[in-house]
A and B are shown apart, each in its own frame.
Chain A
Amino acid sequence: MPTRTGLGEFEMLVLAAVLRAGSGAYGAAIFGEVERTGRRVSMGAVYTTLSRLEERGMLSSRLGDPTPVRGGRRTRVFRLEAEGRAALQRAVSQLSQLLVGTDLEWIAE
């Protein structure tokens, strides 16, 4: 099976959410960032995507501390790796190039 190198639309969104959430990029925070875009999505879908991106080396994760509000469960904090950053940059750049000269050019600027 050929290895996929590009990013899906939702994968782009999740990578950008991890980037925005910064050092506190754990599941609920990333989910909050995605929801802020107006996209209705399940947290399970966000996790599935995070897991897939981690397998592809675009993200890494480490376990955080448990808290009472989480029923004593730990957080998993995600970090954008160089490969993920490059893929995100590439995807946005490609999209911008395609929009140049169209009535949606202002989005690319």
Chain B
Amino acid sequence: MVERLLGLAVPAEHRETYLGDVAEEYTRRRAHGVGPATWLMRELCFAVPLWIQHRWDRTDLGRDVFAACCAFLSALLVLEALNRPFVLEALAEWGPGPRGVLALAINLAALSLSGVVAARVAAPEGRRAMLLLLTLAWAYPVFLLGPAALVATLSLSTLAWGIAVVAAVNFGFSLGSRPRIA
């Protein structure tokens, strides 16, 4: 699974040698104790934007897709807020948790995404999507669960925000940065 995902990062003709190089670099980092897991995670994070880049020869498409995903998630949350809870219904069918836990899970996922966007996406569209997402992600559980959820939401949101920003910085997410994706 990891290899298949990593393999997306490069054109097919380079896949075998790339995976060999990743294996070699991972082994070297593990031997020297210089964060092999973080490095591998970072490679994985780059796989999809790079795939988009070489598949369609569009350097900025990865960032656009990411912003579009945020906008899509925002739209889902808007529909939820309009009392058409098809997302939660769908999740509840296979998810074990109660409705409130699912709402908070969506909230945290949205905040994690928005944290990454906030940390790295330089485009105004990305920032706007992030702000919309952030607002909805905070408002939605309160709307659904009542004011009692506010404290829990704010606490978890702050935590999620911090984790997302630290992760974004440490993993070197650069979806909005053309030179880093190369």
Residues on A facing B (Cβ under 8 Å): 8-11, 14, 26-28, 31, 40-51, 63, 66-67, 69-71, 73-76
**A76, B23: Cα distance in complex, Å:** 14
CB distance from B8 to the nearest CB of A (A): 8
Report which B residues bind A (CB closer than 8 A). 6, 9-11, 13-14, 16-25, 27-28, 42-43, 45-47, 50, 53-54, 172, 179-182
Q: Is the CB of B9 within 8 A of A48?
A: yes
Contacts A47-B9, A47-B10; is A41 near B182 (CB within 8 Å)? yes
Report whether over half of chain A's contact residues are helix, strand or loop; otherwise say mixed: helix
Q: Which residues of A contact B16 (CB under 8 A)?
A: 73-74
Contact residues of B: prevailing secondary structure? helix
Give every chain B residue within 8 A of A43 (Cβ-Cβ): 18, 21-22, 25, 43
B25 to chain A, nearest CB (A): 5
Does B25 lie within 8 Å of A44, measured CB to CB? no
Extra pairs beyond A48-B182, A51-B14 (16, CB < 8 Å): A8-B179, A10-B179, A27-B18, A27-B21, A28-B25, A40-B180, A42-B9, A42-B50, A43-B21, A46-B182, A48-B54, A51-B10, A69-B24, A69-B27, A73-B17, A74-B16
